[in-house]
Structure 1
Amino acid sequence: MPGSVQRAGALAGYPLRLPAMPLHDPWIVADRAAGLYHLYTTNLPAMTGDSRLGIMAYTSPDLAHWARPRVVFTLPEDSWANDGAWAPEVHRWKGRWYLFATFYNDAAPLPAHDGRHPVRRATLLASAESLDGPFALENDGAPLADPARMTLDGTLYRAPDGRPWLVYAHEWVQVGDGTIEAVPLDDTLRRAGDAITLFRASDAPWVKRPARADEVANFVTDGPELFRTRTGALLMLWSSYDAQGYVQALAQSASGKLEGPWRQLEPLVRADSGHGMLFERFDGQLMMVLHRPFHNARGKLYEMRDEGDRLRVLREATWLDGETHPTHP
Structure 2
Amino acid sequence: MKPLTRRSLPWLLPALLLGLLPWRASLAQNPLNLGAMLRTADPSAHVWADGRLYLYTSHDEECQQDFHMKDWHAFSSTDLVNWTAHGPVLAIKDLKWADDYAWAPDAAYKNGKYYLVFPAGTGIKDREDPKRSTKWMGIGIAESDSPTGPFKDMIGGPLWRKPYANDPALFIDDDGKAYLYFHGSGADYHVVELADDLRGLKGGLQKMDMGGYEPKMEGPWVFKRQGLYYFTMPENNRALSHYTARSPKGPWTYRGVFMEPENGNNHHSIVQYQGQWLLFYHRWLDTPGAACAKKQRHVAAEYLQFNEDGSIRKLERTREGVADFARRVAR
Give the TM-score normalised by the residue count of structure 1: 0.71
1:271 maps onto 2:261 in alignment: yes
Could you list the runs of 5+ residues in structure 2 that have no partner in the other structure?
Answer: 1-31, 63-67, 286-294, 324-331
Q: Deviation at 1:148?
A: 1.4
1:1-329 alignment runs, 5 A limit: 17=33, 20=36, 21-31=38-48, 33=50, 36-44=52-60, 53-68=70-85, 70-76=87-93, 79-106=96-123, 119-140=135-156, 142-144=157-159, 146-159=160-173, 161-171=175-185, 175=186, 179-189=188-198, 190-198=200-208, 203-204=213-214, 207=215, 219=216, 221-230=217-226, 232-241=227-236, 246-253=238-245, 256-272=246-262, 274-281=266-273, 283-293=274-284, 296-307=296-307, 309-313=310-314, 318-320=319-321
Q: Which structure has the bigger radius of gyration?
A: 2
C-alpha contact 1:292 1:300 (8 A) present in aligned 2:
yes
Moved more, 68-77 or 20-29: 68-77
Tell me: higher relative CO, structure 1 or 2? Use CA pairs within 8 A at least 6 residues apart. 2
Higher strand fraction (1 or 2): 1
Q: Distance in 1 between the 2:317 and 2:93 partners?
A: 39
d(CA) in 1 for partners of 2:41 and 2:221?
15
Question: How many residues of Structure 1 are paired with residues of Structure 2 in the alignment?
Answer: 270
Would the aligned equivalents of 1:251 and 1:263 in 2 still touch at CA under 8 Å?
yes
- Deviations, residues 104-140 of structure 1 (Å, cap 9, x unaligned): 11269xxxxx979674211110011111110000222
Does 115-124 or 84-93 show the bigger shift? 115-124
* In 2, Cα distance between equivalents of 1:203 and 1:100: 27
State the shift of 1:93 in Å. Answer: 0.8
Distance 1:162 1:107, change over 3 A: same
- TM-score of the aligned structures, taking structure 2 as reference length: 0.71
> RMSD between aligned alpha carbons?
3.3
Tell me, in whole angstroms, the C-alpha distance in 1 between the residues paired with 2:123 and 2:113: 32
Contact 1:18 1:64 survives alignment (8 Å): no
